[in-house]
Amino acid sequence: MFDPVMEQILIIARDAWGFLAGLLVIVALLGGLYYVLQGTAGAAFGGSKMASAAIIGAVGLVILVLFAFLFLPQIGEMLKNFQPKPPF
Amino acid sequence: MAEALSLLQTFFREAWLALAGALLAFVLLAALAHILRVSSSAVIGANLWVAEGLAGVAGVVLLGLFAFLGVPQIVKAALAAIPSGGGCGPIGELGSLSAGIIGGLAALRMLKALFVSVVSASVGGGGSMAQALIECAEALFGMLLAALAMPLSAWFLGAC
């Protein structure tokens, strides 16, 4: 009875997932480029703190994106396994 | 009476499955949205937003776990507390019918409240989340009242 509604919701959710994942990649690429610019500028005029902050920022950004693309699907699989049958 | 109960319970079960699937989809989308927020705020150096986003991811996942692990156990415990045979004859049948319907409705209401709270948490709305948790408590309280109502009415009417 609710299957057609669920199919529509899942189609919208898949589209939203693709949109958010694409946006995340774009933000991460732009952020990575910014950190590279910051790091090279810092290295060019001897700003070691600036360069190290840029390197740490870039690594953090990569970790965040890996978290989103590796950990979230695993969480989804886990929650899918936990999806309960009707308790009544 | 039994056919009506079976029909209603089938309807409620299908609604439960659909709501659980939608809840799962929204939990994942909310977590991804929070991570997008974390990464963009990390790029512009907004530490508070990063902390808020990470707390949001944890909160959304915890809400999903509570919905999938906690709610069914609560509903099962509350259903076991509702006496289905508070009398005999029509009162007994009414008791079993009402116990089934009340249990199904309360379970659906709790899941709906958690669905609303996940959607609310995904956009950072605290007020709706508190309201949804109040709804959970209301559903439980209603089930407890219903557990008292059937034996009391059977006793009042002097049935069996």
- Among chain B residues, CA nearest to A61: B39
B143 reaches A (C-beta below 8 A) = no
Q: Give the largest CA-CA distance in chain A.
A: 69
Structure ipTM over 0.95, yes or no? no
Question: Which residues of chain B are within 8 Å of residue A39 when distances are taken between CB atoms?
Answer: none
CA A1 to CA B112: how far, in whole Å? 18
In whole angstroms, what is the distance from residue B17 CA to residue A29 CA?
Answer: 39
The 3-state DSSP class for residue B45 equals: coil
| DSSP classification of residue A46 | T
The pLDDT of residue B4 is above 80: no
The tens-digit pLDDT sequence of chain A (88 residues) is 788 888 888 899 999 999 999 999 999 999 999 999 999 999 888 888 889 989 999 999 999 899 889 989 999 899 888 888 888 7
The structure's pTM equals 0.82
Q: Nearest CA to CA, how far is A41 from chain B (Å)?
A: 17
Asked whether residue B154 carries a pLDDT value surpassing 80, the answer given is no
d(CA B95, CA B100): 9
The nearest CA of chain B is from the CA of A69 a distance in Å of 9
Q: Least CA distance to B28: which residue of chain A?
A: A76
Q: Does A80 touch chain B (CB under 8 A)?
A: yes
